[in-house]
Structure 1
């Protein structure tokens, strides 16, 4: 765990969110906030900020309970753990009103496995306007029918997405617009905001920074939102525009997941436009 020390009262504030701005103890503004740091490092990730600015505080050794939990998660006890969590999921699904929608969503939306940071990733070149991307999960074709209004402006569309599970959702969209249609980064950002509002998302917090991908102008938007009023998810949305072509990479994961941002950053750094 990394902490951000208050310059006024020296209180150690847990550095769990990029939106940490004021001290939990005295309420005064903290030094070296993530927003200030990103002005100097526009392509830097939250984990990189944690390692650079945050400080470590020695934690107590785990007690007997923690040791028991660790033993239960060993491979030899995998079968028992699966049965246990299957029963828990069943109970939550049938008694959602009793435990609350938030508890159900928190359990169903797993965190990203730490093994993704060390396993071999797949690199694929996809689409007519070829895009190269490396991911820890396989991307499958996920084309969706376009509504009549959208079909009037898009000449070609292709979409890829990983299957459910794994703690992270990676979507790649590629579009070619008709010549008489405006296709700019501002248009792309507005289209993304409309799509998010239509997907039952609320309390959206986001910020965008300009980026270059393979020498092409792009924009990286990142933040978080409340999904169906129950669980807060973080997202990163990279869009690159060149002429009539547009490339989009959408990544989402639980906002309280420390592994999600690291995996997302690695995915985005792998993107190349052919």
Structure 2
């Protein structure tokens, strides 16, 4: 179908007859009527005029989805819609019970970006018992109240941690104890386990290896645990003790993440105690 556009209101008039002169919408005279065109093309026919002057307009195809939704929202179909969405909710709830927990945790706990291995890291010296550390994420002060028993024997405590996200959590804890307090690596490991055993952790597996950091004896504990019954997280926990001072660097990441342990090892290798 060919149309002739009105110069006044832009209405598309179907070009069905050679006598089309006025706009069907506003009644004003149309430009390029067949009579006007014939003055310039005396030998021209109406079909030629249609092809030369007329325009084609694409008809919009109806949106099938919108049409279906409109039909379903009609009063006569509301009951069917309620039944349909009720079934969908039941299926989602069932799937969530069977598979949802693991899927949700997999979404919440992203893997460590591979770019961390190649990006420039920031190096900071933190704490009163100065510790130098390089990390792919910024560490912020994250002091937490000590439990009453620990507070009685602790002269100084400071904690740093990165913000949530990025697939890795790095925590640095530093303590200074009063002179009469026994501060050994065995005690440090036991205290660390005490703070790492909240109700949402289970099935912990770990091994401990002796290490040296800036010539000071330490222990590196590596392992994994089931978090809230939904996802297995891995950790590397480095403990260093010197006199009344204690340093703990605890790093968590997903157990199925191959980048996580590489980043954790690089963090731990950067440590220097001054």
Question: Which interval holds the TM-score relative to the shorter structure?
Answer: 0.5 to 0.7
Could you say which residue in structure 2 is the equivalent of 1:221?
221
Could you say which residue in structure 2 is the equivalent of 1:211?
211
1:100 aligns with 2:97: no
1:202 aligns with 2:205: no
Could you say which residue in structure 2 is the equivalent of 1:156?
156
Could you say which residue in structure 1 is the equivalent of 2:127?
127
Runs of 4+ in 1 over 3 A off after TM superposition: 95-99
Distance 1:96 1:151 in 2: 43
1:171 aligns with 2:168: no
Distance 2:199 2:114 in 1: 28
Q: After TM superposition, give the deviation of residue 146 of structure 1 in Å.
A: 1.6
Could you say which residue in structure 2 is the equivalent of 1:239?
239
Normalised to the residue count of structure 2, the TM-score between the two structures is 0.64
Distance 2:107 2:200 in 1: 19
Distance 2:244 2:200 in 1: 30
Could you say which residue in structure 2 is the equivalent of 1:138?
138
Could you say which residue in structure 2 is the equivalent of 1:182?
182
**Structure 2: gaps (5+ residues):** 1-91
1:67-111 per-residue CA deviation (whole Å, 9 max, x = no partner) reads: xxxxxxxxxxxxxxxxxxxxxxxxx99x85464211111111000
**Structure 1: gaps (5+ residues):** 1-91
Q: After TM superposition, give the deviation of residue 118 of structure 1 in Å.
A: 0.5
Q: What is the root-mean-square deviation in Å for CA atoms of aligned residues?
A: 1.6
SS in 2 for 1:152: helix
